[in-house]
Amino acid sequence: MPAVQATAELLSNGGPVMMILALLSVLAVTIILVKLWQFFVQRGNPAQDDHALGLWRAGRTGEALSALGEGRGPVNRVLRVAMQGQSKPDAVEATVREETARVAALELERLRGQLRGLEAIGTLSPLLGLLGTVLGMITAFQQLQAAGSQVDPSILSGGIWEALLTTAAGLAVAIPAVAALHWLERRVDGVRHRMEDAVTRVFTQAPSPQPHREPAPLRAAANEH
């Protein structure tokens, strides 16, 4: 196929640096797809979380926990930990807060997984491309020197454009990787803000006490004489 042949030729002209950049591009695409799938699966249900918080505020703690169900979202899981801890009769708020913070940190760390790898690819790819260009220019000038007095301009121009291939490839790998990284980090920040808001509402909006009902007076079995 022409496209496959053209790609193979570019990889060959770019040398080993181009091969490394090709591997980094495959790795970057893999990380992006994995993270997109993770965010899709862990997207949660904000409406369900808000409904549970409304029940919690009304003092219907059991219904609030039932409303959370077995949600897959990280906010849902953190809310469940906070509500379950606070609903215990012997709950110590400081202990519940610490456990909630621990679970929230684990959830956020899970969402941030592989993002550092994507950041490294976005940072290293242009540098590798520049390295390939420098090496290619060195080779081109060595060929020019070897030609001596019989200098053919095509030798120099051909070596230069082949050397510049790696710079273009490095930028082509880095630009989408950095763009995806910033988008994914914004998604993580959005989840973190939702967590902070939801947990704050659990601890500051204490359940309203249920109205106390006096027991109905028992009717006298017999009238007093």
Give residue-wise pLDDT tens across range 7-23.
Answer: 666 666 667 888 899 99
Q: Please state, rounded to an integer, the average pLDDT across all residues of the chain.
A: 83
- pLDDT tens track for 69-99: 877 789 999 999 999 888 888 878 889 999 9
Q: Select from 83, 48, 86 the least CA-distant residue to 68.
A: 48
- CA–CA distance, 192 with 187 (Å, rounded to integer): 9
At 134, list the tokens: 């420098």
| DSSP codes, 91-121 | --HHHHHHHHHHHHHHHHHHHHTTHHHHHHH
Q: Is the pLDDT of residue 109 over 70?
A: yes
Q: Select from 142, 128, 134 the least CA-distant residue to 162.
A: 134
Q: Check: CB of residue 67 under 8 Å from CB of residue 55.
A: yes
CB-based burial of residue 56 (10 Å sphere; 0-12 exposed, 13-18 middle, 19+ buried)? Answer: buried
Q: Is the pLDDT of residue 222 over 60?
A: no
Q: What is the pTM of this model?
A: 0.77
Q: Select from 145, 180, 139 the least CA-distant residue to 161.
A: 139
